[in-house]
Structure 1
């Protein structure tokens, strides 16, 4: 199973450099889905209860979202949003004793960023809704017993903020291109490792 996790890391970390090469689009699409897809298979192999299967569902929806985003933004975003809802259920099942609710302050901040950063006003409602979803997921992770997963969820959120900014003030900037995929994939890997290693 550790070999499968390493294969997931290899696929995910090599995708960004591969995306800048002249590779067949179908192969590149499969490559993109392979990183988180293999994490989902790894999680499924270790699942022993509800937490493990919820994690598997989160990662499987993430892999599906990775592929669908290359086809159309809205369906891909909708699949990711479903994944965030499943993740919220996972983290709330594992809320840390004594955890405060202050991480939920992240929700209006990221939601507002989703509405304000994209240059196209028509995109604001959808981006705001998605921003609320990913921020709620990160906030619930911060309140859970999964500390590494909380860091991964925050990396995921920053990645999405960079996507919002790429549609507005960072249009043409190299920064989102350099950071979006790496933050996202490493965030997913931390989430998978922290929850999955417990054979939940």
Structure 2
């Protein structure tokens, strides 16, 4: 990673890492909304600078849609923001599917299937408003598919699969805040750090394979 490229990554971490305390201390205005979107947007810019293939640009799209979702949640509401995130999950599924590892179904399938089933189930159970539960579970199905395919992909599990799981846990805390964790401080403390760490790990893991130390990027050669 050259110094110039690294600057974008560390600036992204600075923006993402300082957003939560800033949101507590400053008025909820255009500055805070832009601050919220800046972290993942800068990750997208960092990935774009290094994109050399379709897979690289798919990662850029995933991150750009995430940044759009961050802003749209504040400016256009939950449904519009969720649609942006869902579009990002679909692009991520395409990216991971293009780069599957040689699979041992006995070892790999249980975790993938567990994610695929458990995440939507929890998303459906959590909301106290039962009328909203089906739509939330539908979104969570896309989230779960992304997390499951991330586990099956050849990208490093310690970064990409973990990042996808942190993203999923962050969203589940949002849904839990609508039900069993209503009024709890835990979602307020954990949702953003888990989400942003997840996005940063995904970006770092994918870029590290596609653009770092493995030629033109051959994630199928990678293991854990």
Specify the TM-score bucket, using the shorter chain as the normaliser.
over 0.9
Please say if 1:7 is aligned against 2:11.
Answer: yes
Residue-by-residue CA offset, 1:5-34 (whole Å, 9 max, x unaligned): 000000001000000013351000000000
TM-score by length of 1: 0.97
Write the distance in 1 (CA, Å) between the matches of 2:81 and 2:132.
14
Q: What is aligned with 2:20?
A: 16
CA distance in structure 1 between the partners assigned to 2:104 and 2:187 by the alignment? 33
Deviates more, 1:114-123 or 1:28-37: 114-123
CA distance in 1, matches of 2:104, 2:15: 35
- Distance of 1:197 and 1:99 partners within structure 2: 24
Structure 1 residue 30 corresponds to structure 2 residue 34: yes
How far off its partner does 1:109 sit?
1.4
Which residue of 2 is the match for residue 121 of structure 1?
Answer: 130
Is residue 67 of structure 2 the alignment partner of residue 63 of structure 1? yes
> Shift in Å at residue 105 of structure 1?
2.6
CA distance in 2 between partners of 1:2 and 1:139 (Å): 30
* Structure number, greater radius of gyration: 2
The 8 Å contact of residues 68 and 76 in structure 1, kept in 2 or not, is answered as yes
Q: Trace 1:41-120 onto structure 2 (pairs within 5 A).
A: 41-71=45-75, 72-100=77-105, 101-102=109-110, 103-120=112-129
1:165 corresponding residue in structure 2: 176
Q: After TM superposition, give the deviation of residue 121 of structure 1 in Å.
A: 1.2
Instruction: Measure, in 2, the Cα distance between the counterparts of 1:112 and 1:70.
Output: 26
For structure 1, the residue ranges without an aligned partner over 5 or more in a row are none
Give the paired residue count. Answer: 200
Pair 121,18 (structure 1): closer, same or farther in 2 beyond 3 Å: same
**Per-residue deviation at 1:99?**
4.4
Kindly provide the CA deviation profile for residues 23-75 of structure 1, in whole angstroms up to 9, marking residues without a partner as x. Answer: 35100000000000000000000000011000000000000000011130000
Answer yes or no: is the 8 Å Cα contact 2:26–2:32 preserved in 1: no
Gap runs ≥5 in structure 2: 212-216, 218-224
| Preserved contact between residue 99 and residue 143 of structure 1 (Cα < 8 Å) | no
